[in-house]
């Protein structure tokens, strides 16, 4: 009877230890399975509940560390994929700009265009309490010949 109580206490201890293992809802369950597995193997091998409890706690820690390493690897891969996406977008923008410049250059050599500069006179005035001086603005316009 006493052995059954110790065994049930032993099986519940990893579950108690796993309760604060993390925020992920599945993570404590995996930690508990690791602790129960390690503790069960140790108890069957030694029949000593203290050694089994220590092995169970060790199983929880090993399981938690392994899951943390996996999570860090996932975060690193996600950051690399994001950086690759940014790089691809920048390259696409560069090549789009190059194609646009080439098209404009090809269009400029085949079309007969000239640049005409038109003067626009802006009279002096007042708007919203601000006084403006008279000025001339020059507007360049591309025209077909």
Closest alpha carbon to 32 in 65, 60, 6: 60
- Local confidence band at 136 (pLDDT 50, 70, 90 cut-offs): very high
Residue 10 has pLDDT above 90, yes or no: no
What's the whole-number mean pLDDT along residues 22-34? 62
**Length of the chain, please?**
145
User: What's the rounded Cα separation, in Å, for the pair 101 and 116?
Assistant: 22
Report d(CA 135, CA 121) in Å as an integer. Answer: 6
CB 57 within 8 A of CB 15: no
pLDDT (tens digit per residue) in 75-126 = 788 888 888 888 888 888 889 889 888 888 777 666 577 888 999 999 999 8
> Residue 57 in contact with residue 37, Cβ under 8 Å?
no
Cβ atoms within 10 Å, residue 31: 27
pLDDT higher at 91 or 17: 91
Q: What is the pLDDT of residue 123?
A: 92
């Amino acid at each position: 009877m006493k052995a059954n109580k110790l065994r049930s206490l032993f099986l519940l201890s990893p579950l108690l230890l796993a309760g604060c293992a993390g925020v992920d809802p599945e993570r404590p369950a995996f930690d508990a399975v690791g602790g129960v597995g390690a503790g069960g193997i140790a108890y069957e091998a030694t029949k000593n509940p203290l050694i089994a409890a220590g092995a169970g706690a060790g199983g929880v820690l090993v399981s938690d560390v392994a899951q943390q390493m996996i999570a860090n690897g996932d975060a690193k891969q996600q950051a690399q994929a994001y950086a690759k996406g940014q790089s691809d977008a920048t390259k696409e923008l560069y090549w789009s700009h190059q194609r646009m410049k080439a098209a404009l250059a090809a269009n400029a050599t085949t079309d007969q265009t000239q640049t005409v500069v038109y003067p626009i006179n802006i009279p002096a005035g007042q708007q919203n309490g601000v006084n403006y001086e008279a000025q001339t603005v020059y507007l360049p316009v591309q025209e077909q010949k």
